[in-house]
Copies of this chain bind each other. A is one copy, B any other.
Amino acid sequence: MNRRKFLATTAVATASAAAASAFPKPAISQGRVQWRMVTAWPKGLPGLGTGAENLAKRITEMTEGKISVKVFAGGELVPPNQCFDAVQSGTAEMGHDIAGFNMGKHRAFAYFFGVPFGMTYAEHISWLHYGGGQALWNELSAQFGVRSYAVGNIGSNIFGWFRKPITSLSDMQGLKMRMPGLGGDVIRKLGAQALSLPGGEIYTALQTGTIDAAEFTGPANDLALGFYQAAPFVMYPGIHEPGPVQEVVVNKAKYDALEPTLQKIVDVACQAAHEDMMAEYKWINSQASKTMVEKHGVKFLRLPDEVIAGLGKASGEVLTAERDKLDALGKKIWDSYVAARSQLKSHTEVSEMAFYQARAMDYPFPS
């Protein structure tokens, strides 16, 4: 999708939110239910949007329509950032967004999206399914009357798009950057100004110089939005989002009312969706990166070591401070996340990381 189309879609979607009350209520007949999946994404957005649609389609097909899931783009039924509320209140049965949006309700939701210098895709899902993470997420979500699932992952992000390269820690001083959430808190510690613009406003802000830099979801979506035209330098790695998890929340009462077979289908479809979106992003991001470099002259530059170490220290401080803001369950989640990160990080360093470094060495290989 190109930028114009993306923005146009977003605008239309927002406008139609007003007409939300005109949508029909879910029909229930002969044990069949119609579920509404509200999403935080523009219609058809590659990765996030297609991931939501694929998941809905699979649940509908596998249940032979016993659960028929209809997807609504962000703004069609409720505003993009109100998916969780809509599911909590029963306005929708499912919501497709990120747990990071729910930090206003409970700060511990952050650990089910991801944290700066935290866990990556594979580590995060390993913690959820085998290290006790999902049980804690269930406990937290149950307090809000929902069930939560990891249903997608964007993969390790880039740090962002820059009008001028970052060459030292002092370049972070006064930098105006679009960077929401915990990542924003991290760059503030280095003297930057962190803003939280919606996706559709980033391009213009970069072009007019209202901001100096911006992060969004990564090469594929960012290319469609044309950021490179206003800010041609990509700085990496995306230490603020090492493996951003997308979530589905399901209304707990609606889920509990399903027969066990249908519950199982929802569970397994969500797990498959998580891998599916990761696979899609990895492919479209690798394609987009190639296009950006070869066709648009985008420069990929690694952040200098002193900046990485500074961001690491700042992230450690932000994370440490977060623990004090949490209640008992939140502290249990924090402790579990931090311990899992340590254990998995050590193993990753002798497995994936060591392999990637070996593969990047200089030796003849067919390509």
Contacts and interface: CB of A to CB of B under 8 A. Distances in A.
21 contacts: A122-B155, A126-B283, A128-B279, A129-B279, A130-B280, A236-B351, A239-B359, A268-B268, A272-B272, A282-B344, A285-B351, A302-B350, A309-B362, A315-B365, A316-B365, A317-B364, A319-B365, A338-B367, A348-B356, A353-B360, A356-B356
A339 B239 CA distance: 28
Interface stretch (A12-20, A57-65, A137-145, A170-178): A57-65
B275 A271 contact: yes
Most B C-beta atoms less than 10 A away, residue of A234, A285, A320 = A285
Contacts of A361: 305, 308-309, 312
Interface of A: 58, 61-62, 64, 117, 120-123, 125-131, 155-158, 218-219, 234, 236-239, 242, 260-261, 264-265, 268-269, 271-272, 274-276, 278-280, 282-287, 289-290, 300, 302-303, 305, 308-309, 311-313, 315-317, 319-320, 323, 338-339, 341-367
A350 to B, nearest CB: 5
Nearest to A241: B355
A265 B264 CA distance: 11
Number of copies: 2
Contact of A268 (B62, B238, B279, B338): B62
Listed from nearest, the 5 A-B pairs whose CB atoms lie closest are A312-B363, A130-B283, A237-B354, A286-B347, A353-B356
Contacts of A341: 367
Nearest to A335: B366
A279 B316 contact: no
Contacts of A117: 358-359, 365
Interface of A: prevailing SS: helix
Contact of A350 (B236, B309, B349, B359): B236
Given A155-B122, A351-B158, A309 B128 contact: no
A349 B358 contact: no
Contact of A316 (B120, B360, B364): B364
Given A126-B286, A286-B348, 20 more contacts: A61-B260, A62-B264, A117-B358, A121-B122, A122-B278, A158-B350, A158-B351, A238-B351, A242-B359, A269-B272, A271-B272, A289-B350, A311-B358, A316-B366, A319-B366, A338-B366, A341-B367, A352-B352, A353-B357, A353-B360
